[in-house]
Copies of this chain bind each other. A is one copy, B any other.
Amino acid sequence: MSHAAPPPVVVPTIAECRRLVTEARASGKSIGFVPTMGALHDGHLRLIDACRRHCGFLVTSIFVNPTQFGPNEDYQRYPRTPDDDHRRCAEGGVDLIFEPTVAEMYPNGPTATFVEVPGLSSVLEGKSRPTHFRGVTTVVAKLFGIVQPDLAAFGRKDFQQLAVIARMVHDLNMPIRLLPVETHREADGLAMSSRNRYLSADQRRAAVVLSRALQTAAEAVASGERSADRVRQDLAQAIELEPLAQLDYAEVADAETLEPLDDLSAGRPAVALVAARFGDTRLIDNTLLPTVTSESSCN
């Protein structure tokens, strides 16, 4: 908290954003960046706090990017809470809020140019949302071009998004350090998400099944479970037992390549990822799994 700090400047244009970032950089400050779609919650505040500690000038963008929503997704109804967002940014010590219109970002309609990370973008979320990650990587490349941050924070809650962006930054030699931030959770374990506010009271209670199933999976692996298939089945079953949940996927994958794993004792870092619908609301969650070695699992 930095209540004494001046409130963030809010700018809607690329030119003004660049001007203020250039000024800050000229004064010797490093630039931190937290891209968001607004509807800020405490999870975003964790990103802002984490980034703040590593930079001299903190930029947050608020932009509900149409190109990462599919035709039947929730672009129109996605929550937009600008006043609350600005207040939270002020509390978090953000220096500059870049809040462009769609016309400012895409003056001629969606850009012709796109950035794509094949492979990583087509599994898991990419199966249910085939054009999603192309929209994400392209808009993040644009935002990186506009803000030119030294450091950018992304939440582990969107595990695959972080993996895709990390790959893009690496492959395209973008001069940006990524700061992954742990998932922030409600008291009962539900991962914080802007979409949680869509949930009815019943759905909200039911949604905890995702984090509970993931925790059970992590405990099973810690206790020696080595079959990724068993973990997948247990995850799926736990979610399917919740009447208000409609399972999309329950996967156990290599934490770097996101390829499905068979054997958890192969020494590769593993992640369990789930997606399910609660009514019209699609939620995702994940957890890194404890490392299993052949030795420890024989004990």
Contacts and interface: CB of A to CB of B under 8 A. Distances in A.
A16 to B, nearest CB: 14
A63 B70 CA distance: 39
Nearest to A116: B114
Contacts of A143: 173
A47 to B, nearest CB: 22
Q: Which among A137, A143, A173 has the greatest number of chain B C-beta atoms within 10 A?
A: A173
Contacts of A141: 115, 172
Interface in A78-129: 111-120
B145 A175 contact: yes
Nearest to A110: B171
A82 B69 CA distance: 48
A9 interface: no
Contacts of A111: 171-172
A155 B112 CA distance: 23
Contacts of A146: 173, 175
A143 B174 CA distance: 9
A261 interface: no
This chain's copy number in the assembly: 2
Interface string A6-39: 0000000010001000000000000000000000
A68 interface: no
A112 B142 contact: no
A126 to B, nearest CB: 13
Interface in A117-176: 117-120, 137-138, 141-143, 145-146, 148, 167-168, 171-175
Interface string A170-199: 011111000000000000000000000000
Nearest to A22: B175
A148 B175 contact: yes
Given A112-B171, A113-B137, A145-B174, 15 more contacts: A111-B172, A112-B119, A112-B167, A113-B115, A113-B116, A113-B171, A113-B172, A114-B118, A115-B141, A141-B172, A142-B172, A142-B173, A145-B172, A145-B175, A146-B175
Interface of A: 14, 18, 111-120, 137-138, 141-143, 145-146, 148, 167-168, 171-175
Q: Which 4 residue pairs across A and B have the least CB separation, nearest first?
A: A113-B171, A145-B173, A111-B171, A142-B173
